[in-house]
Homo-oligomer: A and B are copies of this chain.
Amino acid sequence: MKVYKIPEATVMRLSIYSRYLKQLMDDDKETVSSGEIAIGVGVSSAQVRKDLAYFGEFGTRGVGYKVEELYGYLMKILGLDRRWNIIIIGAGNLGSAFALYQGFMDRGFTISAILDVDKKIIGTELEGVKIEGMDVLDSRVREQNITLGVITVPAVAAQEVTDQLVNSGVKAILNFSPRVLKVPNEVILRNVDLSVNLEVLSFYLAFNR
């Protein structure tokens, strides 16, 4: 996996700042201070300024940030000034939940294909996308210009599916299976392990008792 200079936590906060700015735009607010953003999203104002400073000078002292301008910058930084096509592998409960999740479309993501190995669900539809077999993986990725793969298969199948996604030409993978996966250097891998997220909570609860 590649190593990047921008902390991942900063990237996640940029995403959250951009949503907050969108709320402000919907309320017709024109300028906002780092302090207001900080309160709005629940971090310190120093954190907001530090996160934004990675990408240059945005605000004006005493005036703050222009809401719409900063929103536009953040969306561009996040790569959301374009559309991204997604393939989901695994149309079980988690894959279905992911496909049906609201709020991807208006951030620039399109679910272009959903594949599974289960013959009972191949041919059915999720959000207007027909579930297909794994045999169409390469052609779907190529024809539909898919760059992002989402893995929602059981842990035991996760590495094999990862290898297939990498071979198909997908550039980044979001992995929901609780398995440590190997990918080549040029592919970006991000793990969302539901258990790990619970364990961050149990850690803090236990650590502060």
Q: Which residues of A contact B (CB under 8 A)?
A: 1-2, 4, 6, 8-9, 11-12, 14-16, 19-20, 40-42, 77-80, 82, 84, 86, 92-94, 96-98, 100-104, 107-109, 147-148, 154-155, 171-174, 178, 180, 182, 188, 190-208
Contact = CB atoms under 8 A, between A and B. Distances in A.
Contacts of A191: 16
A22 B173 CA distance: 25
Contact of A208 (B2, B155, B196, B199): B2
Contacts of A78: 199, 202-203, 206
Given A97-B94, A180-B41, A79 B206 contact: yes
A202 B98 contact: no
A147 to B, nearest CB: 6
A174 B199 contact: no
Which residue of A4, A8, A201, A206 has the most chain B CB atoms within 10 A of its CB atom?
Answer: A201
B9 A205 contact: no
A1 B201 contact: no
Contact of A202 (B80, B178, B198): B80
Nearest to A150: B198
B195 A104 contact: yes
Given A78-B206, A97-B96, A202-B80, A197 B180 contact: no
Contact of A199 (B80, B101, B201, B205): B80
15 contacts: A1-B42, A4-B208, A8-B200, A15-B193, A15-B196, A16-B196, A79-B203, A84-B198, A93-B93, A98-B194, A103-B155, A103-B178, A148-B201, A172-B201, A190-B200
A52 to B, nearest CB: 14
B4 A207 contact: yes
